[in-house]
Homo-oligomer: A and B are copies of this chain.
């Protein structure tokens, strides 16, 4: 198991939490996986936005100044170590209580850890995917959030064939939602489509960034599996891996092989420029 490069709980160097912690008991919290590169986290505004939305939805106090102070503390620690590239996991737990669901009056707890990462590469190696047998439940109250109730993703990851890189997750109505830890974009003619995440799924920060920057060339839509199979190009994206084109997808309805990634490469170049310049 990879050891963390640095670990802070509420601003104190520590790597252990009491069993009273609500994330431990109920998954009662939120998290973000940030790519740290050359002294900064370029997608931070998008992470912050999602975290704030999550706090509002779950009724957890959102203290931006404190979160940013602790993040800076971790980045300073990485700087002192001479670490130039890392993945930072920021987790917000609602706080601590003894047994029972009743929420605490204090909290949240802000946890920050850093892990070794390969340097940022905007376009990854083409991926082999399969359709996961796990169907995502539809819960509008939690959809879109990166909360800590992630058993569906754990089960999907566990069931994945060793021969593939990732699995496509549909909801219980059969709509395409995401990959296990990435969002998905599909190319139809001159436009990009990405699934509607109002009922299930995690609304990723790269997805948010691309939707903003691609403007009218990208659209959110309900996407059936047939439509994914008929797409001209497909890519997955997340803050850790960047954009990864999809070369193969195996499903019950048939398998597809894609060999052209030109439009994906264009988006990746655009993403890289923004990422590196921090625009």
On whether the beta carbons of A2 and B150 are closer than 8 Å, the reply is no
CB 8 Å contact bits of A1-16 with B (1 = contact, 0 = none): 1111001010000011
Min CB gap A32→B, angstroms: 11
B residues near A139, Cβ cutoff 8 Å: 137, 152, 172
Contacts of A111 in B (CB 8 A): 19
| Contact of A151 with B58 at beta-carbon distance under 8 Å, contacts A1-B97, A7-B19, A20-B1 already known | yes
Determine if B101 and A154 form an interchain contact, defined as CB atoms under 8 angstroms apart. yes
When C-beta atoms are compared, the residue in chain B nearest to A143 turns out to be: B137
**Contact between chains at B157 and A151 (CB < 8 Å):** no
Task: Select the stretch in A23-31, A66-74, A213-221, A224-232 that faces chain B.
Answer: A23-31
Contact of A151 among B27, B138, B152 (CB under 8 A): B27
- Which listed residue, B9, B100, B148, B157, touches A25 by the CB 8 Å rule? B148
Q: How many angstroms from the CA of A154 to the CA of B30 in the assembled complex? A: 14
Are B16's CB and A154's CB within 8 A? Answer: no
10 A-B pairs with the lowest CB-CB distances in the bound complex, closest first:
A27-B27, A137-B139, A149-B149, A137-B137, A26-B150, A101-B157, A2-B98, A16-B16, A24-B24, A149-B151
Interface size of A in residues (CB-CB distance below 8 Å)? 63
Chain A contact residues, CB within 8 Å of chain B: 1-4, 7, 9, 15-28, 31, 33, 58-59, 87, 89, 91, 93-94, 96-104, 111, 113, 115, 134-135, 137-139, 141-142, 147-158, 172, 180-181
Report how many copies the assembly holds: 2
**Complex Cα gap A121–B201 (Å):** 43
Name 29 A/B residue pairs within 8 A (Cβ), A-sorted: A1-B98, A16-B19, A19-B111, A19-B113, A23-B25, A23-B27, A24-B93, A24-B148, A26-B27, A26-B148, A27-B27, A27-B148, A27-B150, A27-B151, A28-B151, A33-B99, A87-B99, A99-B113, A101-B150, A101-B154, A101-B156, A101-B157, A102-B157, A103-B154, A137-B138, A137-B142, A139-B152, A141-B152, A149-B150
Cα of A25 to Cα of B94 in the assembled complex, Å: 13
The interface residues of chain B lying within 8 Å CB-to-CB of A58 are 151, 154-155
Selected from B15, B20, B149, the residue in CB contact (under 8 A) with A19 is B15
- Min CB–CB distance A234 → chain B (angstroms): 21
Residues of chain B contacted by A147 (CB below 8 angstroms)? 151
Tell me whether A98 and B17 are in contact (CB under 8 A): no
Question: CB-CB < 8 A to A148: which residues of B?
Answer: 24-27, 151
The answer to whether A21 and B24 touch across the interface, beta carbons within 8 angstroms, is yes
Q: Is the CB of B138 within 8 A of A138?
A: yes
CB distance from A86 to the nearest CB of B (A): 11
The reply to whether B87 and A154 form a contact with Cβ atoms under 8 Å apart is: no
